[in-house]
Structure 1
Amino acid sequence: MGWIITIIIGLIAGAVAHRVLNSRGGFIGSLVVGLVGALVGGELAHLFNLHMTGGILDRLIIAVLGSILFLFIWKKVFK
């Protein structure tokens, strides 16, 4: 069940990141951006000592912020 929630959160986070940065990305692109963004966001939250409750909303916010950061850097590097 945890993997399914993670995939759903990754899809939502990736779709939001693509929308915010006016980027194109299909189902797989949004999933990859969202999952990588969730990892990036989680590491940054740990680095800055942010204490999250571990709920779905916390995970979604961290994943969206990490996805936006990841996609922004990706676009700057590979443009």
Structure 2
Amino acid sequence: MGWFMTIIIGAIAGWLAEKVMKADMGLLMNIIIGILGALLFNWLLSLIMGEALVGWIGSLIAGFIGACILIFLARLVRGKRA
């Protein structure tokens, strides 16, 4: 997948995770968290099942789930500091 599609899918996945997790992030953070979320979730899937999600729909699903995980982890870390 090209960089342009990666950014678009990352932005959509990050935006969906932002809405579901009721987080308040900007476009740049949505893109970053969507891309990192996809990498994280596909890495976890490859450890557990030996396979990763492929294609733009698979990347969107992986990005969404991974972004939700990252938002959850960020809230855990931030909550312990307060």
Task: Report the TM-score range of the alignment, normalised by the length of the smaller protein.
Answer: 0.7 to 0.9
Q: Would the aligned equivalents of 1:7 and 1:31 in 2 still touch at CA under 8 Å?
A: yes
2:64 aligned with 1:64: yes
CA distance 1:26–1:73, shift in 2 (3 Å) = same
For structure 2, list consecutive stretches of 5 or more residues without a partner in the other structure. Answer: none
Partner of 1:11: 11
User: CA RMSD, aligned part only?
Assistant: 1.6
User: When the two structures are superposed, what TM-score results if normalisation uses the length of structure 2?
Assistant: 0.85
Partner of 1:30: 30
Aligned partner of residue 78 in structure 1, secondary structure: helix
* 1:40 counterpart letter in structure 2: L
CA distance 1:50–1:60, shift in 2 (3 Å) = farther
* TM-aligned CA deviation for residue 50 of structure 1: 5.3
- CA distance in structure 1 between the aligned counterparts of 2:34 and 2:66, rounded to whole angstroms: 8
For structure 1, list consecutive stretches of 5 or more residues without a partner in the other structure. Answer: none
User: When the two structures are superposed, what TM-score results if normalisation uses the length of structure 1?
Assistant: 0.88
User: Percent identity over the alignment?
Assistant: 33
Q: Would the aligned equivalents of 2:38 and 2:62 in 1 still touch at CA under 8 Å?
A: yes
Q: Would the aligned equivalents of 2:46 and 2:52 in 1 still touch at CA under 8 Å?
A: no
